Amino acid sequence: MEFSVLELKENFERQSGLFQQKTTAEAVEDALFYLSRIEALKIEGGFMVIYNRLHIERLEENNKIQYKNEDYQKLNQFYENKVQQIHIVGEYAKKMVHDYVGALRFVDDYFQLNYSSFLGKYFPGTRGAEIKRNITPAKYRQLFESLSEAQRQIIDDKHSPHLVVAAGPGSGKTKVLTHKLAALLLMEDVKHEQLLMLTFSRSAATEFKKRLIALIGNAAHFVEIKTFHSYCFDLLGRVGSLEKSDSILQDTVEKIRNGEIEPNRITKTVLVIDEAQDMNADEYALVNILMEKNEGLRVIAVGDDDQNIFAFRGADSRYLIELIESRQAAKYELTTNFRSSPQIVAFANAFVKTISNRLKTNEINSYQTKAGHLKLVYYQSRHLIEPIVRDLLATDLSGTTCVLTKTNEEAAQITGLLLQHGRPAKLIQSNDGFPLQNLLEVRFFMDALAPHSVSIAPEDWDKAKRAVYEKFGSSPKFEIVMNLVKDFQEINPKIKYWSDFQLLVQESKIEDFYRQEGDTIFVSTIHKAKGREFDHVFLMLDSFNGDSDDAKRQMYVAITRAKTRLAIHTNGRFFNHIQLPDVQRIDNTETWLPPSKIAVQLTHKDIYLGFFAFVQHRLAALMSGQDLQIQAEGLADQSGNLLLKFSKKFQEQISAHRASGYVLTEARVNFIVYWKDQEQGQEYKVVLPELVFEMGRE
């Protein structure tokens, strides 16, 4: 409908008649402009002249027609030539250093000869390929020389619509991905804002960021590497937190579908997915909607279906298969294991065959040639903690060592037993039950920072670091804060955004911040050891049900953590069918008893949380690692002030332990965390202790 500014102006003035409101044509235009910007109205014509506009008449009416490679020919040609021109001017410089006449001849030939003869003369053979790369030969070598042939193929594939890389354990998956990111940015003209990498864990995102910085320097800071969750929170404009994350993926997909997300946040040309075997239906739906919204979006998915151990949360490698089958992704297999000795690789190969519906068709081969040790100890008995620790103590170990178990409890027992024998050991704990920002040491650091603006000033950062060191330097949990801080600094060397730090804390888990050091023996569940590697791995499978594919994949993950030594202690029969010459088999027919000491780490449900409201003042000076006195109701500090009451449920457990001969003998502070009483809306410090029960001591 056509109208004029004057008409609107007069109408407005007439309406407001009584008050004699005056306005100007400019104000009306302003309002119109506003209405069209917020899309309340669609207006054309008139005042729009102020803004420089292009008049476009569309000739190609068919909506399906895309801008094609042939159309891009001229520009492409130009850019390819520009690349060669840079190489050529460099070649001139190099020539001029030692061959004056030759260099002048070179210039002359460049302008006079047919271009192909010029290239033939000066860039024969492989040099012809060299000058087509938009990177110097030296840089190319630096970036890609260290890659294997199979790895390089993935880097070199610039044309497949999608790539799926099935990467075996120890095959350099992270390395390939990091180099692929570098290649995308440096050699495939993907702009950093058009590149998105999604991971399943914050630690993976951090690791990639660190490696990419190491590889290509500053440019890495501009690349978006995010977890699925944080990317979704970003799109929805929310500060993410775990409580709110249940339906975040579905919400985001819905909003993208409805066009409620700003196009510039989802316009991408390449999407890289790490650990793609861990995708569940929601995550795959996000990938799909991104593909739908970005015509020609290249998806590069890397994963190992054999290592999918998150089936319980819906992770399924069939989404990877779907990418290959219905999206015509090119499939690559990385089957060279750079990590493990040949024996271990052969063993893993034999074992993995029992898993059904696998993606990889080729066997893994080992790059290492040095012989390793593989020992299988079969038990009739239960209670393998005692013998596995004995075995470990009797073995000459150099390098890193890890004991892997199925459950957290087993891991805690083993840690206790190792410590009892005077061996430095560390239990890889998690923060199940509380978010990392509720951990006293982390909270203290965050409170010390509490920035007033969106970014953290360098001096405030340093001040907070000093403060947390002074206060908690002696806490066994200080390592967590320290590594958290280090990680953050490393990936954010310049500006430190508070929101980034919050995100890192929110999305991280305690186990992300244990670093291998010296001869400390790590004790961990299989799940928490995923992605890590150790020289020596002792795997305990006590009463383990290994029938399902999921269980088999867990065992496969455990087996493939080992570099030179793998010792499996089990009372299951999963490996019976494997007949390999290099495996040392021992049948242990002894009967083993439960351990004499049991360590138990208490969680929120084991303690009477409401009680803490009354003893907050007593917790002020308390530190993780401190010993506590045992009292009938609960635990007290060294002066006998009651700090903690056990929950009813845990009281029952203590009784049950006593009935089977175990008595509570030791207690110390494990975690001090903040807990919010939802009813009162009040937050309290809460002590989560570690207890030791001992057999037959009253």
Partner 1 sequence: MIFQKFRTDICEKADVVRFVDENPIELAYALAIINCRHRYSVTPPWVLRNYPEVERVTAHLRSKPCLEGCMYCRQHLDIFTGLKQFFGFEGYRTYGGEPLQEKAVRAAVQNQSLLAIFPTGGGKSITFQVPALMNGQSMKALTVVISPLQSLMKDQVDNLERAGITQAVTINGLLDPIERAKSIERVEDGSAALLYISPESLRSKTIERLLLGRKIARFVIDEAHCFSAWGQDFRVDYLYIADFIKNLQEKKNLADPIPVSCFTATAKQKVIEDIRAYFWEKLNLELDIFQASAARSNLHYKVFEKEGDEDKYNALRNLIDDKNCPTIVYVSRTRKATELSERLRADGFNARPFHGKMEATEKTENQNAFIAGDVQIMVATSAFGMGVDKKDVGLVIHFDISDSLENYVQEAGRAGRDEKIEAECYVLYNEEDLSKHFILLNQTKLNIQEIKQIWNAIKFITRYRTSVSNSPLEIARKAGWDDSVSEIETRVTTAIAALEDAGYLRRGQNMPRIYANSILTKTAQEAIKKIEQSARFDHDRQKVDAIRIVKKLFSSKRKAQAIDSEAAESRIDYISDHLGIVKEEVIQIINLLREEKILADAKDLTAFIKRSEQKNRSLAVVETYYQIERFLLTQLDETEQDFSLKALNEAAEAAGCTGVSPQRLKTVLNFWAIKHWIKRASRDFANQIIVVQAKDSSRNLREKLEKRHELACSVIEFLHEKAKRPMTKAGKRRKYWWNFQCWN
Show contacts with partner 1 in window 125-144 (CB under 8 A).
134-136, 138-139
Question: Of residues 105, 113, 383, 630, which one binds partner 1 by CB under 8 A?
Answer: 113
Question: Of residues 20, 63, 357, 678, which one binds partner 1 by CB under 8 A?
Answer: 63
Q: Which of residues 288-317 bind partner 1 (CB under 8 A)?
A: 295-296
Q: Does 371 bind partner 1 (CB under 8 A)?
A: no
Placement of tokens 């202690």 in the chain: 569
Q: Which of residues 223-262 bind partner 1 (CB under 8 A)?
A: 224, 233-234, 236-239, 260-262
- What x/- string results for residues 659 through 678 when contact with partner 1 is judged by CB under 8 A? --------------------
Q: Does 215 bind partner 1 (CB under 8 A)?
A: no
Buried b / exposed e over 378-410, threshold 16 CB at 10 Å, is bbeeebbbbbbbebbeeeeeeebbbbbbbebeb
Q: How far is the CB of 649 from partner 1 (least distance, A)?
A: 37
Best CA proximity match to 233, nearest among 198, 204, 207, 208: 198
Q: Does 186 bind partner 1 (CB under 8 A)?
A: yes
Q: Does 489 bind partner 1 (CB under 8 A)?
A: no
Question: Of residues 7, 447, 517, 627, which one binds partner 1 by CB under 8 A?
Answer: 7
Question: Of residues 128, 161, 189, 641, which one binds partner 1 by CB under 8 A?
Answer: 189
Q: Which is nearer to partner 1, 266 or 330 (CB)?
A: 266
Distance CA 529, CA 516 (A): 12
Q: Which of residues 490-549 bind partner 1 (CB under 8 A)?
A: 495, 497-500
Q: How far is the CB of 60 from partner 1 (least distance, A)?
A: 4
Mind giving me the DSSP string for 234-281? Answer: HHHT----GGGGTTHHHHHHHHHHTT-S-HHHH--SEEEESSGGG--H
Distance CA 194, CA 267 (A): 7
Q: Where are the alpha helices (DSSP H) in 363-473?
A: 385-394, 408-420, 440-449, 458-472
- Tokens for 515, please give them: 């670093």
Q: Which is nearer to partner 1, 129 or 632 (CB)?
A: 129
* Other CB atoms within 10 A of residue 323 CB: 25
Contacts of 302 (CB under 8 A, 6+ apart): 164, 165, 167, 173, 176, 177, 272, 273, 274, 275, 276
Distance CA 608, CA 647 (A): 5
Q: Beta strands 682-695 and 662-677: pairing type?
A: antiparallel
Q: Which is nearer to partner 1, 197 or 348 (CB)?
A: 197
Q: Which of residues 17-36 bind partner 1 (CB under 8 A)?
A: 23, 25-28, 30-35
Q: How far is the CB of 216 from partner 1 (least distance, A)?
A: 10
Distance CA 73, CA 82 (A): 14
Q: How far is the CB of 341 from partner 1 (least distance, A)?
A: 40
Q: How far is the CB of 109 from partner 1 (least distance, A)?
A: 10
Q: 360 and 166 in contact (C-beta within 8 Å)? A: yes
Cα dihedral sign, 27-32-35-37: negative
Q: Which is nearer to partner 1, 112 or 369 (CB)?
A: 112
Q: How far is the CB of 329 from partner 1 (least distance, A)?
A: 18
Question: Of residues 56, 129, 394, 659, which one binds partner 1 by CB under 8 A?
Answer: 56
Classified as helix, coil or strand, 562 is strand
Q: Which of residues 430-459 bind partner 1 (CB under 8 A)?
A: 453-455
Q: Which is nearer to partner 1, 210 or 471 (CB)?
A: 210
Give the chain's end-to-end CA distance (angstroms, integer). 93
Q: Does 54 bind partner 1 (CB under 8 A)?
A: yes
Placement of tokens 């030179």 in the chain: 564
Q: 197 and 225 in contact (C-beta within 8 Å)? A: yes
Q: Does 114 bind partner 1 (CB under 8 A)?
A: yes
Q: Does 123 bind partner 1 (CB under 8 A)?
A: no
Site for partner 1 (CB under 8 A): how many residues? Answer: 126
Question: Of residues 17, 20, 52, 620, which one binds partner 1 by CB under 8 A?
Answer: 52
Q: Which is nearer to partner 1, 35 or 613 (CB)?
A: 35
Q: Does 5 bind partner 1 (CB under 8 A)?
A: yes
Q: Which of residues 79-98 bind partner 1 (CB under 8 A)?
A: 79, 81-83, 85-90, 92-94, 96-97
**Single-letter amino acid, residue 274:** D
